[in-house]
């Protein structure tokens, strides 16, 4: 498998680690859209949300526990932040390994979707 995020988790591709535990790895986005922009990925490969089923649904708990840790570690927990999961091509997913964006560091993050 040639997955960028698997390569990052395995240390084959460099990243700036923000948080790590036995289930997830969190690192700074290389093209941040906000002052704080961290990606959280499960260490087990899941292509997208559609691969999360009841038997492995604990991966979502692992991801969202990490969101709380990342918000605390980056200093955005109290002011607020945005959590985004892009799923599928139409949802804007470009790396085929489920991941959570944690974004903050501004007083106003603006509208979530730009109307055309």
Burial code of 36-49, b = ≥16 C-beta within 10 A, e = fewer? bbbbbbbbeebebe
> How far apart are the C-alpha atoms of 39 and 97, rounded to whole Å?
11
Residues in the chain: 116
Question: Under DSSP, is residue 37 helix (H, G, I), strand (E, B) or coil?
Answer: strand
In the set 37, 97, 99, 101, the catalytic residue is 99
37 assigned to active site: no
Task: Indicate which residues carry an active-site annotation.
Answer: 99
């Amino acid at each position: 498998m040639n997955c960028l995020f698997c390569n990052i988790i395995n240390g084959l591709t460099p990243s700036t680690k923000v948080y790590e535990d036995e289930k997830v790895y969190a690192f700074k986005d290389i093209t941040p859209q906000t002052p704080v922009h961290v990606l959280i990925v499960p260490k087990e490969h899941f292509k997208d949300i559609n691969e999360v089923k009841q038997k492995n649904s604990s991966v979502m708990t692992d991801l969202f526990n990490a969101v709380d840790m990342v918000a605390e570690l980056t200093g955005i927990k109290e002011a607020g932040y945005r959590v985004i999961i892009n799923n599928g091509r139409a949802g804007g997913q470009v790396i085929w390994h489920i991941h959570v964006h944690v974004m903050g560091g501004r007083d106003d993050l603006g509208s979530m979707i730009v109307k055309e």
